[in-house]
Structure 1
Amino acid sequence: MSSAGRPVAAVTGGAGELGFAICRRLARAGMLPVMLDRDAARLSERAAALEAEFGLPPSHIALDLVAADAAARAMEQIAQRHGRLDCLVNNAGLSAGHQIASISLADWEAVMRINLTVPMLLAHAAMRFWRAQGSGSIVNMASRTWLSGAGPAYTASKAGLVGLTRSLAVQLGEFNVTVNAVAPSYVRSAFNSQSGPETERRHLRLGVLSRLATPEDVANAVAFLASGEARFITGEVLHVAGGAQLAGRPQSVAPEGQA
């Protein structure tokens, strides 16, 4: 399929490890990923990698999403280059101010801006496409912590993002736009591995499966919700958490017939 015939997906934080895994998975599903990220150098590297793998140079937009006019500028560039938008993946995120005793107002506002306000602004700016197309999808990157708690700003922002997901699902339904959230647990990545093996062991104990999530696990969930196979699913939260969204790991189960 040529690039002209592909549905278009905008992925924020597209140059990061998780964002790039999402872009690769969407490209494999036949979509054209438009990577949005403030790291222009890494965007160019990721674009070259996608071109080498799929023979399709993806579109990428280098901009800081927290700028007041960033959402409108991003959608204008997508309109000029592609003339359509089929999926918006709000993947970019930030975590800061982990303890209530020491969190600053600047920490709180920075996390809320990128994790909650930017997805709202991008959805608002994307209305230009969906009113005309009569179809589309949004996939918001939430977190398992919306159910259990982590840093106050991060948890509040992700819980708010779930609320925004449900609100947008109601308001955009008339345009046949589905809006869902993916809520991963701790993802095994190069960035997260810097926190050390004890952190991984602690997160492994939270789930009921015997491994941690990979970026590809999360990307597969995003690709499903962005696909036509999920066109009657909206307002939902899909946990990619290995059971960590449950109460906790059960005790060992004795073989059948034994007490």
Structure 2
Amino acid sequence: MTTALQPRRVALVTGAAGELGRAICRRLVRDGLDLVAADLDLDASQTLLDSLELATGQRTLAVRADLGDEASISALVATVGAAFGRIDVVVNNAAVNHRSSIYDFDPAQWDHMMAVNLRGPALLCQKVAPYWKAQGNGRVINMVSRCWVAGGPPAYVACKAGLVGLTRSMARELAPHNVTVNAIAPGLLPSAFTLDGRDAESFQRMAHGSINNTPLKRLATPEDIAGTTSYLASTDAAFVTAEVIHVCGGSQLAPFGN
């Protein structure tokens, strides 16, 4: 039970308006956390918040944020700090993917992906760190992908592999402030993000290959990932840090299939 002496914890979720972000937001609110839904699409974030069932006194806030822009990240943290006075959980879920091969990638698109997918989470944590120092605790949950071990589109895989390295580095640096830093590596998840740039037939071929390579013989769901996020954000995971948890039915054991 939340009391005046025990303020409700505040979770900040980036990429909140997508299928995965929405599921994570719903789960964290169900767990009793106050919620900040950050996304480029402010209207979609606010629509999500309007749909949530909140407990008495539970607060939410939608903020437009561009994780590729340092000024936008600074403004996001300042807004959350002014509204809530604390930030307990950061879920780095926002991502972009300009698919290409090593033969034809666009350097500008590569740089955009690195800015949003890798530099953005680092900058966000840098700017939230003073809150964690003051509070003496915190949680960081980075969304990577099983492709960091299996390969795939080079720029996207490089970002996600880099985010794994960042997870481990931040786990060491933030540990003195009782902050845990972990990553979740989902399997193939049907969503607008994974469908973008693919027609239905090519996605079905990819999904079929993924299921064949998955011991549990199905695709991931947003709720699968949200459940693991809930665990890592909870007190039950207080002694878990620097881990990459694969939520992909065992498909991390198989090679990547396009």
Assess same fold via TM > 0.5: yes
CA distance in 1, matches of 2:107, 2:45: 31
Tell me the residue number matched to 2:170: 168
Q: 1:83 Cα shift?
A: 0.3
Q: Identify which of 226, 232, 236 aligns with 1:229.
A: 236
Q: Cα 1:166–1:69, aligned 2, differ >3 Å: closer, same or farther?
A: same
Tell me the residue number matched to 1:204: 211
Q: Cα 1:204–1:148, aligned 2, differ >3 Å: closer, same or farther?
A: same
Tell me the residue number matched to 2:54: 54
Q: Decide which moves more: 156-165 or 198-207.
A: 198-207
Question: Partner amino acid for 2:54?
Answer: F
Tell me the residue number matched to 1:139: 141
Tell me the residue number matched to 2:9: 7
Alignment deviations for residues 132-184 of structure 1 (CA, whole Å, 9 cap, x no partner): 00000100001000001110000000000000000000000000000000000
Q: Cα 1:120–1:191, aligned 2, differ >3 Å: closer, same or farther?
A: closer
Contact 2:139 2:181 (8 Å CA) reproduced = yes
Contact 1:14 1:35 (8 Å CA) reproduced = yes
CA RMSD of aligned residues (A): 1.7
Contact 2:70 2:123 (8 Å CA) reproduced = no
Tell me the residue number matched to 1:245: 252
Question: Partner amino acid for 1:205?
Answer: N
CA distance in 1, matches of 2:48, 2:199: 25
Alignment deviations for residues 109-132 of structure 1 (CA, whole Å, 9 cap, x no partner): 111111100000001000110110
1:217 matched to 2:224: yes
Tell me the residue number matched to 2:30: 28
CA distance in 2, matches of 1:32, 1:76: 16
1:189-200 to structure 2, matched below 5 A, reads 189=191, 191-192=193-194, 195-196=199-200, 197-200=204-207
CA distance in 2, matches of 1:189, 1:182: 17
Q: 1:219 Cα shift?
A: 0.6
CA distance in 2, matches of 1:217, 1:3: 31
Alignment deviations for residues 18-41 of structure 1 (CA, whole Å, 9 cap, x no partner): 001000011111111211101122
Question: Partner amino acid for 1:233?
Answer: V
1:13-92 to structure 2, matched below 5 A, reads 13-50=15-52, 53-54=53-54, 56=58, 58-92=60-94
CA distance in 1, matches of 2:150, 2:206: 17
Q: 1:63 Cα shift?
A: 2.3
SS at structure 1 position matched to 2:182: strand
Alignment deviations for residues 227-250 of structure 1 (CA, whole Å, 9 cap, x no partner): 1000000000000011010146xx
Aligned positions, number: 246
TM-score by length of 1: 0.90
CA distance in 2, matches of 1:115, 1:146: 13
CA distance in 2, matches of 1:147, 1:119: 20
Contact 1:144 1:185 (8 Å CA) reproduced = yes
Tell me the residue number matched to 1:124: 126
SS at structure 2 position matched to 1:69: helix
Gaps of 5+ in 1: 249-259
Tell me the residue number matched to 1:180: 182
Gaps of 5+ in 2: none
